[in-house]
Structure 1
Amino acid sequence: MATVELRFSALPEHVRTARLVAAAVARRAGVDEAVLDEVRLAVGEACTRAVGLHQSSGISAPVRVALIEDEKQFSIEVGDEAPRATAGERVPGARADGADEPDAAESEGEDEMGLAVISGLVDDVEVTAGESGGLIRMSWPTTPATLLP
């Protein structure tokens, strides 16, 4: 199992680099050429979401991306350190009277849209979140390299 790890400052201009690296590693891992655009788009959405969460929460920690090459699949994990409220806790950006702040509602809508795009692009996707941040894990099948005679 080979893994490439990226860490980048939560700035939108670094998302393009993450997309390019992910596509190059996916190609080398044996992901079908026809799927590489989906890999690029999904990584872009996941990284953009992580950057937005870091910026809106004032987190200076880097966004983490792991590109994992297994024997029969290629996986990408995009992690952030933005804490999510658990049951009974107040969500950052929500007013004490229970009404959502306009910016919080808009940002939540963008977040949901990004997750919907990722789900539409990737058949095997898992999203987890908790007090220490979130993780989006996406996987694609690989085809073994064929040896020429």
Structure 2
Amino acid sequence: MATVELRFSALPEHVRTARLVAAAVARRAGVDEAVLDEVRLAVGEACTRAVGLHQSGGIAAPVQVTLIEEEKQFSIEVGDEAPGSVPGGASGTASDAEVEEDEMGLAVISGLVDDVEVIAGEHGGLIRMSWPTTPPAVALS
């Protein structure tokens, strides 16, 4: 099992880098080429959500992205450190607009990824997304 970890300051300009890294690692892991745009978009939404939660909560900790390559699947985990970052609940002080934006982002992710899980707790949240992989073809001589 190969794992790549990425941590970045909660700034919107770093989301693009996370998307590019995720797509490159997904390609190497064997995610179907036709699905790579969905990987990029889903990672972008999850990272944008985490950045927003950190910024609105005044959290200085970095956003965490873990890319996990397993035998038959590729997973991405995007973690934030916003307490109680549950869907629609943000951090208890979120405005209606922030809650609506958060719910919209999660809806987009759910529409892009068949296997998605959202976990939230008092120390932060995690969005786990998985895609099937295809083993590389073996050339016969």
Structure 1: which 4+ aligned runs deviate by more than 3 Å? none
Q: Please give the TM-score of this superposition, normalised by the length of structure 1.
A: 0.89
User: Which residue number in structure 2 is paired with residue 122 of structure 1?
Assistant: 113
Question: Mind listing any 5+ residue stretches in structure 1 that lack a counterpart?
Answer: 94-102
Per-residue deviation, 1:85: 7.5
Aligned sequence identity (%): 82
Post-superposition Cα deviations, 1:92-122, rounded to whole Å, max 9, x if no partner, equal 32xxxxxxxxx61100000000000000000
Q: Please give the TM-score of this superposition, normalised by the length of structure 2.
A: 0.94
**Which of residues 116, 122, 133 in structure 1 aligns to 2:124?**
133
User: Which residue number in structure 1 is paired with residue 68 of structure 2?
Assistant: 68
User: Which residue number in structure 2 is paired with residue 30 of structure 1?
Assistant: 30
Superposed CA RMSD: 1.3
Post-superposition Cα deviations, 1:61-91, rounded to whole Å, max 9, x if no partner, equal 00000000000000000000000179xxxx5
**AA paired with 1:139?**
S
**For residues 92 and 112 of structure 2, what CA distance do their matches in structure 1 show?**
29
Question: How many residues get paired?
Answer: 136
**For residues 71 and 134 of structure 2, what CA distance do their matches in structure 1 show?**
9
Post-superposition Cα deviations, 1:8-31, rounded to whole Å, max 9, x if no partner, equal 000000000000000000000000
Contact 2:85 2:120 in 1 (8 A): no
Question: Mind listing any 5+ residue stretches in structure 2 that lack a counterpart?
Answer: none
Secondary structure in 2 matching 1:77: strand
Closer, same or farther in 2 for the Cα pair 1:145/1:85, shift >3 Å?
A: closer
